[in-house]
């Protein structure tokens, strides 16, 4: 039932109601002009006839003098009455759906102005939201279920907070503070990463300690980086693409495994392709085994003295020659040796 009202709320728009009302008025004006011309009355009397025809059953003192007038009356009735009826029906449906959405906590987006956003429905959320709302702050809880337990002073958005589309709908960049209140620490970390990407300037608070009974560092302890001795095998300084969509520096020393973490489409693919010579890039310095290199192509990257390999993200479509047998695929990168 709530989903039915949500659909109703999204379908009924103010522009539709206005369009129907304008169409009804246009039909009335056309009917008035037609009455005035064919029945030889003033425009004021013609408008009176059109309104009376569209709003009453029976003419009263409005009686067309000829067949043309009766046809005009019929056209006014079959057009204006349904249009007015549809407009008022849509208006009533919109008001009803808006009221029901508020009662059922089915807000599509955050309120106007500043607010505090709480993501998740931990047992402590109801108390936290009520206490914050009592201070006069506007509070919006974004969760998938149990929203009906929220007090009337707290506004809600129904949806899974681990989905990016739900986070975007909550407009976190407009909030004054963002609170994460989920029981699963993996979900908390996922929400935190996406919120930091969507709203990097808004303070983010993870209510993890109270929910897990331990600090988040106990699950993901901070580790000091281990720097290995010796010159780097690979060194790139300010590696950029021609259009400026990437700017990164990187060092890899013997024995190191360097990981690059980023959201999809944040440039990590361009970084690796640029180092492999598969995407045009430039750098202030690019050294392999201590020697300056210009890796303008994959052939240069795989040549003696560089020996850089690249494993693409989609190995089926980008890493294999499907029309060739396995032995050709295994040896294709060393055919020149």
pLDDT one-digit tens code per residue, 133-157: 888 888 999 988 877 778 888 888 8
* Lowest pLDDT segment from 145-159, 200-214, 242-256, 275-289: 200-214
Q: Which pLDDT band holds residue 122 (cuts at 50, 70, 90)?
A: confident
Instruction: Say what the pLDDT of residue 6 is.
Output: 43
Instruction: Dig out the tokens for 133 from the structure.
Output: 């709302």
* Lowest pLDDT segment from 5-9, 102-106, 110-114: 5-9
Q: Is the pLDDT of residue 3 over 50?
A: no
Q: Which pLDDT band holds residue 111 (cuts at 50, 70, 90)?
A: low
Phi first, then psi: give them for residue 118, nearest 5 degrees.
-120, 125
Q: Is the pLDDT of residue 4 over 50?
A: no
Q: 175-187, pLDDT tens digit by residue? A: 998 988 887 878 8
Query: Is-above-0.85 flag for pTM?
Result: no
The larger pLDDT score, comparing residue 149 to residue 200, is at 200
Residue 80: which of 36, 17, 33, 23 has the closest Cα?
A: 23
Within 8 A by CB and 6+ apart from 178, the residues are 116, 117, 119, 172, 195, 199, 202, 203, 204, 205
Q: 269-309, pLDDT tens digit by residue? A: 888 888 888 888 888 888 888 888 888 888 888 776 667 88
The SS3 assignment for 247 reads strand
27-63 burial, b at 16+ Cβ within 10 Å, e below that, comes to: bbebbbebbbebbebeeeebbbbbbbbbeeeeeeebe
Within 8 A by CB and 6+ apart from 246, the residues are 239, 240, 267, 270, 271, 274, 281
Can you tell me the distance from the alpha carbon of 308 to that of 298, in angstroms, rounded to the nearest whole number?
9
Rounded percentage of the chain residues whose pLDDT exceeds 70: 79
Instruction: Say what the pLDDT of residue 109 is.
Output: 58
Instruction: Say what the pLDDT of residue 8 is.
Output: 43
Phi first, then psi: give them for residue 287, nearest 5 degrees.
-125, 140
Q: Is the pLDDT of residue 215 over 70?
A: no
Phi first, then psi: give them for residue 18, nearest 5 degrees.
-60, -40
Q: Which pLDDT band holds residue 73 (cuts at 50, 70, 90)?
A: confident
The larger pLDDT score, comparing residue 182 to residue 215, is at 182
Instruction: Say what the pLDDT of residue 328 is.
Output: 84
* Lowest pLDDT segment from 49-63, 206-220, 311-325: 206-220
The larger pLDDT score, comparing residue 265 to residue 158, is at 158
Instruction: Say what the pLDDT of residue 2 is.
Output: 42
Instruction: Dig out the tokens for 178 from the structure.
Output: 């963002």
The larger pLDDT score, comparing residue 228 to residue 59, is at 228
Q: Which pLDDT band holds residue 13 (cuts at 50, 70, 90)?
A: low
Compute the mean pLDDT over every residue in the chain, rounded to the nearest whole number.
78
Count other C-beta atoms under 10 Å from residue 203's C-beta: 10
Can you tell me the distance from the alpha carbon of 321 to that of 324, in angstroms, rounded to the nearest whole number?
6
Rounded percentage of the chain residues whose pLDDT exceeds 90: 2
H runs (alpha helix) in 155-297: 164-169, 185-198, 209-212, 268-275
Residue 87: which of 19, 28, 30 has the closest Cα?
A: 19
Q: Quick one: average pLDDT of 239-252?
A: 81
């Amino acid at each position: 039932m709530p989903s039915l009202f949500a659909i109703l709320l999204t379908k009924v728009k103010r522009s539709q109601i206005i369009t129907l009302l304008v169409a009804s008025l246009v039909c009335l004006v056309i009917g008035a002009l037609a009455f005035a011309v064919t029945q030889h009355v003033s425009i004021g009397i013609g408008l009176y006839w059109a309104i009376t025809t569209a709003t009453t059953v029976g003419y009263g003192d409005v009686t067309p003098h000829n067949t043309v007038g009766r046809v005009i009356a019929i056209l006014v009735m079959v057009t204006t009455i349904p249009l007015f009826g549809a407009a008022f029906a849509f208006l009533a449906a919109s008001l009803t759906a808006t009221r029901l959405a508020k009662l059922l906590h089915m807000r599509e987006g955050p309120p106007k102005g500043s607010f505090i956003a709480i993501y998740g429905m931990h047992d402590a959320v109801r108390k936290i939201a009520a206490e914050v709302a009592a201070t006069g702050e506007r509070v919006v809880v974004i969760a998938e279920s149990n929203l009906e337990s929220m007090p009337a002073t707290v506004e809600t958005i129904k949806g899974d907070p681990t989905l990016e589309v739900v986070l975007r709908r909550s407009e976190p960049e407009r909030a004054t503070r963002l609170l994460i209140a989920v029981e699963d620490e993996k979900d908390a970390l996922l929400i935190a990463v996406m919120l930091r990407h969507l709203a990097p300037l808004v303070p983010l608070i993870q209510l993890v300690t109270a929910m897990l009974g331990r600090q988040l560092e106990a699950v993901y302890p901070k580790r000091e980086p281990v720097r290995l001795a010796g010159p780097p095998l690979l060194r790139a300084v300010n590696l950029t693409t021609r259009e400026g969509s990437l700017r990164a520096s990187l060092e890899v020393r013997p024995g190191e495994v360097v990981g690059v973490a980023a959201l999809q489409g944040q440039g990590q693919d361009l970084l690796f392709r640029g180092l492999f010579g598969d995407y045009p890039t430039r750098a202030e310095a690019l050294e392999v085994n201590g020697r300056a290199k210009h890796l303008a192509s994959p052939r240069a990257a795989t040549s003696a003295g560089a020996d850089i390999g690249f494993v693409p993200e989609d190995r089926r479509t980008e890493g294999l020659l499907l029309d060739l047998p396995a032995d050709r695929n295994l040896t294709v990168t060393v055919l020149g040796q």
